[in-house]
Amino acid sequence: MTKRLLFLAVLASASAVAVTGGASANEGGIGGCSAGFEYISLVDVLNEGPRLAAIAADVTGNNDGYVCRRLVGDGVFHRYPGSLNDKAYIWLDNAEPQTG
């Protein structure tokens, strides 16, 4: 079960990195997040449960303790009994450099 959750976290991190190339997190929105993304502290994120992808997004960015997230799946983990999280997000750092 732990391996499955780690795999999902790595997959989510890879998705966040892939999305970063196409959308800059500095184009409007709050706290450096793009419109449609929620600006949230890692403390609040981790109070919801373990989110390795959120930590990875911040550490590989400006490491200020804040990230941007966008819900992409609500309740998608109902197929995995015992799952610690029930929602899937795209995670970006709140200070991605401008592209293009």
pLDDT digits over 43-83, tens only? 999 998 888 999 999 999 999 999 999 988 766 666 666 66
Rounded mean pLDDT, 23-49: 79
The secondary structure of 26-65 as a DSSP string is TSSSSTTPPTT-EEEEHHHHHHTS--HHHHHHHHTTT-SS
Let me know if residue 99 belongs to a domain.
Answer: no
Indicate whether 76 belongs to any domain.
yes
The residue among 73 and 36 whose pLDDT is bigger is 36
Helix axes 2-20 and 52-59, enclosed angle (nearest 10)? 40
Q: Count up the domains in the chain and report the number.
A: 1
- Whether the model clears a pTM of 0.85, i.e. scores above it, the answer is no
User: Domain limits at 76?
Assistant: 2-93
Rounded average pLDDT over 21-48: 76
What is the per-residue pLDDT for 4? 53
User: Quick one: pLDDT at residue 20?
Assistant: 41
- Domain for residue 21, yes or no? yes
Q: Is 100 part of any domain?
A: no
* Residue 98 placed within a domain: no
Q: Does the residue 29 lie in any domain?
A: yes
